[in-house]
Chains A and B, each alone.
Chain A
């Protein structure tokens, strides 16, 4: 949105970005599954400076009752930012942006969840952004998908998300906050790595048709990297040293 004049060099002549990464290098990603005692499933993710907690409850009774479906379960999702998660205090009431993100995250997870296997019930996914950096919706999705798997919810595939974008006329993987503010385009993508389906795609900013295809391919490559971290987190939870 803002095209402000700053001193940040987004991409230097050696192809190194403002935070020292290469153009196809994601930020540091750490995921831990099963971090909450009371939730059916949970996950904590650190994705760059993002720190996000996801908790899954259910399948459980639907309230209000009229929302229930007789032939399939429903998925509900809330993406919520803590007032202290950003530079200037955020009003804790859900903003229009958060409501839209909750909706696109729900629709990105739905294709993977086998809703038909738990009719008349609901699975609630609660996502709390403790600290926000660029790309928080992708990081939130990554944590939510691991939390669903941790809860033992029947799933067709994992959902892995990562953004790509255009910075200094170059397509780069995993946009950080500065690149989001000063860059030319931001494209969050969620992908089911085994079924080969894109379940979330959004774009802010101008891309030529060639750049668009390159950006989609770059983001999907990023999703595949995230998928490995998600698998590792679940493996550690269920088969690691400290698992029961």
Chain B
């Protein structure tokens, strides 16, 4: 059943693209409307609910002391996850994550990590023994395509909004200092931009209909200086060299606009 519907939709989406139009009327390089609400979960040290078109993600940051990784004793811990909740889409079932969800979480994590957004060297309580950990968990609550960017914007907005509690080392163990907080050590704002290729057309921020009929996709994360810090290609076809270069340019220009929205809403 769904196969037939997908085929029909693909025909419609493709014929519109050949006429220079998208199924929801956007320009090829135009992302959907992005709204960000921060601080929606007061019990989390940082949080955000974002909507990208009709895709909705809730993200929370929990911050707690932890042991550092053995080979990285002079750095705090940053871990970012993503999950698609069963209430987000009829095709999602509860249970262990499938390969698509694992890829989603790893790509969102990589974009933020490789940009060096958080200066982890500022999150050390006691070298090699005790550090501060930032655990950023994304939950997709409604699905309309392009979860990569939606989760990335939610995670970045939550991190910008977080406040780090203060711990002191007492008797070789961290002890919480009530009521004292500091700003997170932010160095840059990474923005991921996902583009889909359908036939010879490359479109920014595909919605669910477009997502279902993409030949290939690419997610490029850029930092505030306009440099590229992470890439992931996906989908069962490829890109030409020229398309790759064009995608990089699009990700820088579109990313700059989205960075302004995140900056404005995220504070």
B233 touches A99 (CB 8 A): no
Q: Is A187 an interface residue (CB 8 A)?
A: yes
CB neighbours (8 Å) of B72 from chain A are 1-2
The listed residue (B100, B113, B116, B228) touching A203 by CB distance below 8 A is B228
A117 to B236: give the CA distance in the assembly, Å: 16
Which chain B residue has the least Cβ–Cβ distance from A205? B114
Q: Is B249 an interface residue (CB 8 A)?
A: yes
- Tell me, rounded to whole Å, the shortest Cβ–Cβ distance linking B234 to chain A: 6
Q: Is A220 an interface residue (CB 8 A)?
A: yes
A100 touches B241 (CB 8 A): no
- Tell me, rounded to whole Å, the shortest Cβ–Cβ distance linking B219 to chain A: 10
Contacting residues of chain A (215-242) with chain B, CB-CB under 8 angstroms: 216-217, 220
B103 touches A212 (CB 8 A): no
B239 touches A212 (CB 8 A): no
CB neighbours (8 Å) of B256 from chain A are none
The listed residue (A111, A208, A213) touching B227 by CB distance below 8 A is A208
CB neighbours (8 Å) of B233 from chain A are 104, 107, 198-202
Interface size class of B (residues with CB under 8 A): 35 or more
A100 touches B244 (CB 8 A): no
A204 to B229: give the CA distance in the assembly, Å: 6
Which chain B residue has the least Cβ–Cβ distance from A110? B236
Known contacts being A2-B72, A104-B234, A205-B229, is A198 close to B103, with CB within 8 Å? no
Chain A residues with a Cβ closer than 8 Å to the other chain, count: 34
CB neighbours (8 Å) of A205 from chain B are 114, 229-230
Q: Is B226 an interface residue (CB 8 A)?
A: yes
Q: Is B51 an interface residue (CB 8 A)?
A: no
B248 touches A212 (CB 8 A): yes
B248 touches A209 (CB 8 A): yes
- Tell me, rounded to whole Å, the shortest Cβ–Cβ distance linking A82 to chain B: 21
Q: Is A9 an interface residue (CB 8 A)?
A: no
A201 touches B231 (CB 8 A): yes
A100 touches B103 (CB 8 A): yes
Q: Is B18 an interface residue (CB 8 A)?
A: no
Known contacts being A96-B102, A206-B227, is A198 close to B248, with CB within 8 Å? no
CB neighbours (8 Å) of A97 from chain B are 106
Contacting residues of chain B (202-244) with chain A, CB-CB under 8 angstroms: 218, 223, 226-241, 244
9 A-B interface contacts by CB (under 8 A): A4-B71, A100-B103, A197-B238, A198-B240, A199-B233, A201-B233, A205-B230, A206-B115, A209-B249
Q: A110-B236, A209-B252, A220-B241 are in contact. List 5 more A-B contacts (CB 8 A).
A: A1-B113, A4-B71, A111-B236, A198-B240, A204-B230
A-side residues, CB < 8 A to B, are: 1-2, 4, 96-97, 99-100, 102-104, 107, 110-111, 187, 192, 196-209, 212-213, 216-217, 220
